[in-house]
Amino acid sequence: MILIVNSIRKTKLKKNEIIPLNMDFMFTTIFNNEKNIYVLEHFLSDYLEIPFSSIKGNLKILKRKILPNNKKESSNEVDLVLNYNDKLINIELSNERKSTGVIERNIVLACKIHGGELEYGNKDYKNIDETLQINLNNFRCNKDTILSSYYLSDLKNREILTKKFRIDMVDLVLGSKLCYNINDKLSKWCRLLMTKRRDELYKLAIVLLGREGGNEFMNEIDMLCSDDEYIGIYTKLSKKELEYNTYIAEAKEEGFNNGEKSGIEKVAQNMLKQNMNTNVISIVTGLTKNEIEKLKKQIV
């Protein structure tokens, strides 16, 4: 895929600034790379709470494409699929707001991966291997815990139907906040994925990957964060995020001065005048698409 970035762009990040790993393109570049398999080995050792020696050399990165179920359906591409001792581990990074659509999509992907585990010609489903999907969510998704695990279970008695299919929800936001308050490696991984500060990333990398692995990891990060194309992609996305935050602040100010509803509607009209996408306006203002369409008709 070729990414074209506006020629007027930053060619250098601020001092001590790095492109955070929770950006999709950074996450894929770092983690979906055989050269960096040691990072995944350390992560899963901490995540699954198993000795590093038992996972080192036993982890493989698989193809990201999942074959479609029928001709009308296009193939799906997952963020990351790993094989550890015949156990499939699917890692999905989600930057969208918590929504039914995101959750349902990831469940479908997990089901497809699990359904493909039975070897061709083997009709004995007792032999199917385990599937674990780890959802790294860049939004609040759990009430008071970093990690929540889900199984198929009985609604009344909570009896688990099978332990061979599990979906985890990791709250990166909460984990990042708790990083220095609790002695928990998962919280440190959350912070590592979210920080924009090089000095902080380096300290976390040394703790989680060791001195040699941490330095190797930082060399890769520094190389990517000095690449014009990566900086261009990041700053272009950051500019959008900054615009949205500005609109939100404006909406709050307008709402305070003129009544919440009228203030938000005024902001929505300003966004419409700039031909911004209805979905984006809805996310920023909280207005429904029908409400936005009515406001569109009022603009002269």
Question: Could you tell me if 118 and 254 lie in one domain?
Answer: no
87-94/80-84 β-pairing: antiparallel
89, part of any domain: yes
pLDDT in tens, the chain (300 residues): 333 333 334 467 899 999 999 998 899 999 999 999 999 999 999 999 999 999 999 999 998 766 444 433 434 578 899 999 989 999 999 886 666 677 888 888 898 888 876 665 566 777 788 999 999 999 989 989 999 999 999 988 889 999 999 999 999 999 999 999 888 999 999 999 999 999 999 999 999 999 999 999 999 999 999 998 888 888 876 666 556 655 555 555 555 455 556 677 887 888 788 777 777 677 667 788 888 888 888 876
131-137/87-94 β-pairing: parallel
- The DSSP symbol for 62 reads P
- Where does the chain show beta strands of DSSP type E? 59-61, 65-66, 76-77, 80-84, 87-94, 131-137, 147-150, 165-171
13, part of any domain: no
Question: Could you tell me if 147 and 284 lie in one domain?
Answer: no
Whole-Å CA distances, 173 to 18, 23, 142, 165, 282? 18, 14, 10, 25, 23
CB-hemisphere CA count at 13 Å for 263? 14
- The DSSP symbol for 127 reads G
107, part of any domain: yes
- For 117, other C-beta atoms within 10 Å of its C-beta total 19
pTM above 0.85, yes or no: no
8, part of any domain: no
Question: Could you tell me if 188 and 209 lie in one domain?
Answer: yes
Question: Could you tell me if 137 and 156 lie in one domain?
Answer: yes
What pLDDT is stored for residue 2 in this prediction?
35
What pLDDT is stored for residue 97 in this prediction?
64
Question: Could you tell me if 179 and 55 lie in one domain?
Answer: yes
Measure the CA–CA gap between 209 and 60, rounded to whole angstroms. 18
Using an 8 Å Cβ cutoff, are 90 and 63 in contact? no
Question: Could you tell me if 106 and 191 lie in one domain?
Answer: yes
131-137/80-84 β-pairing: unpaired
16, part of any domain: no
Question: Could you tell me if 35 and 183 lie in one domain?
Answer: yes
Domain boundary among 226, 242, 260: 226
By residue range, what is the domain housing residue 265?
232-298
CB-hemisphere CA count at 13 Å for 197? 5
Question: Could you tell me if 134 and 270 lie in one domain?
Answer: no
What pLDDT is stored for residue 192 in this prediction?
98
Domain boundary among 211, 226, 241: 226
Pick the closest to residue 136 from 102, 110, 170, 95 (CA basis). 170
Pick the closest to residue 251 from 238, 274, 268, 276 (CA basis). 268
285, part of any domain: yes
Question: Could you tell me if 217 and 236 lie in one domain?
Answer: no
How many domains does the structure of the chain reveal? Answer: 2
Q: Which two tokens stand for residue 102?
A: 């995101």
Domain boundary among 226, 246, 267: 226
Question: Could you tell me if 110 and 73 lie in one domain?
Answer: yes
Question: Could you tell me if 74 and 222 lie in one domain?
Answer: yes
1, part of any domain: no
